[in-house]
Amino acid sequence: MSDVRPPLPPFTRETAIQKVRAAEDGWNSRDPHKVSLAYTVDSRWRNRAEFPVGREQIVEFLTRKWNRELDYRLIKELWTFADNRIAVRFAYEFRDDSFQWYRSYGNENWEFDANGLMRLRYASINDLRISESDRKFHWPLGPRPADHPGLSDLGL
């Protein structure tokens, strides 16, 4: 993989939306190694009570996450952007190994280097238990189809 990840800052509305969708598609792959390549080698995160630093810790974190959060599906939506920063809101659904479903809601603040790699990621997340019948994300595992509604369209 290249150490350059277009679109590059400074972002326009269009390129910020492209960056958000690329991040969503990467996370929906549930491939920790692939996802880690979108971050700088020394990227710093805050994710709930965990603070991974660097790609190796990001891979470890995501591996644990997706071993625990089964049938994971994520939607991200641009909130705002400026220069090399993007803020998103998101929701994702998953089930645990006892088939209890959850929807997690949150916000992320991102900062990118000149090559379009994310160097800072700060996430705030809340979890809600839901019944299987309350699920809204019903596409096959992998990237969200282009015609699947986004968060605003789903009333989330």
pLDDT reading at 34 higher than 90: yes
Give 83's pLDDT tier (boundaries 50, 70, 90). very high
pLDDT reading at 1 higher than 80: no
Cβ(85)–Cβ(67) below 8 Å? no
Give the number of other CB atoms < 10 A from CB of residue 118. Answer: 22
* Percent of all residues in the chain with a pLDDT value above 70, rounded to a whole number: 99
Class (C level, CATH) for 13-134: alpha beta
**Domain residues of the chain, as ranges?**
13-134
- Residue 63, SS3? helix
Give 8's pLDDT tier (boundaries 50, 70, 90). very high
Among 66, 63, 103, 81, which residue's Cα sits nearest to residue 20?
81
Per-residue model confidence (pLDDT) at position 2: 64
pLDDT reading at 70 higher than 70: yes
Give the number of other CB atoms < 10 A from CB of residue 94. Answer: 20
